[in-house]
Amino acid sequence: MMTSRKLLEQLVAFDTTSRESNLALIDFVCRYLTELGVSYELIHNAERSKANLYARLGPAGRGGVMLSGHSDVVPVDGQNWSVPPFALTEREGKLYGRGTADMKGFIACMLAAVPHFLAQPLAQPLHLAISYDEEVGCLGVRTLLDVLSARPEKPDICIIGEPTELQPVLGHKGKLGVRCEVQGAACHSAWAPLGVNAIEYAAKLIHHLTLTGQRLAAPQYQDARFDPPFTTVQTGVIRGGLALNIVPADCSFDFEVRTLPQDDAQEVVRDLERYAQHELLPQMHAVNRDTTIRFHPLSSYPGLYTAEQSAAARLIARLTGSEAFSTVAFGTEGGLFNQIGIPSVVCGPGSMAQGHKPDEYITLEQLNACDALLRRLAAWMCQPA
């Protein structure tokens, strides 16, 4: 039987940066499950270069618990690693390598626990899910959720194993990324009023977003369970202009909205579109009718907040021995599971303080603690409903 440490060593060796295929890792997991007699199914992307894996074991029927993790990792480009990022290195109880914390450590524990679950008289099924492209907008899991949502035998609870140091997390913000493209009209800068300066109109739009962010930070819109306790709006990328003596014809900028679960990110975009349509475009068209402002979605995922008295929250409290429920600043696939009727919580080994950094690591202590938590889950799942 392979330990979680040994499995993590195998998983880290696969370069599953989001721009790469994850099929080598998925094939390894398939062979591992096959040797244990566990059936599975794969849900590929359109190009068949990546796949989600879904498996279930235990009794047939509805309900049960799902353990879910993503296989992709963030790039190591430009980072100064002191160890090989795609080979596990152990130093003083710490296991270094890309994805050790985020989140191959949890997947390793999940897989190491399969033989134990198989040996138990489970009273409800255990569901396993491994997704792709989480790091680039929770993209891959959506095809898996399309399959699950059409089935009557969905799990009752999902545990997303993102790194929380095994503390029970019930919520996080949602995120929406949007690109705005402003098409102005170029001319020689000596006759600037004859052109439409795309950068200046983009600046007006960005300023409007800044004011929106300030409004949403007002005390009446805050939720102290989150940090920061309000929906945030920020512009992260801007492109435009060719030369100082040319009125720029084009400018684009990317902005994001990170919403409290009860807020609607699309309302921020709709408000900006109204401002563009009613205030800016008439000014632009007064100079040149061919000018435009367009908006294109880049990525999005919903926020998550699972009620403290829900069955999912009570289970994770029981498994962790803690009712100190909290939220995290980063996003997960949990909100997407919630949307198809699978209440989700976030709890996994390691800390996101080590994630996405050079020399990412997880401690052996955290792996062992996660192994113990999954054994407690198996014991709970043997109890009659």
Catalytic residues: 72, 134
Distance CA 289, CA 71 (A): 49
Residues 6+ apart with CB under 8 A from 220: none
Given the structure tokens 């009557």, which residue do they identify? 152
Distance CA 381, CA 341 (A): 20
Counting runs of H as helices and runs of E as strands, what totals does the chain give?
A: 10, 16
Contact 245, 262 (CB under 8 A): no
Instruction: End-to-end CA distance of the chain: give it in Å, rounded.
Output: 30
Distance CA 176, CA 234 (A): 11
Contact 168, 317 (CB under 8 A): yes
Contact 188, 254 (CB under 8 A): no
User: What does R_g of the chain's alpha carbons equal in angstroms?
Assistant: 24
Closest Cα partner for 216 from 271, 171, 179? 271
CA angle 175, 180, 182 (to 5 degrees): 170
Cis, peptide link before residue 103, omega less than 30° from 0? yes
Cis, peptide link before residue 228, omega less than 30° from 0? yes
Distance CA 86, CA 99 (A): 9
Distance CA 64, CA 95 (A): 32
How is residue 173 annotated by DSSP? -
Sign of CA dihedral 84, 86, 91, 94: positive
Distance CA 140, CA 132 (A): 5
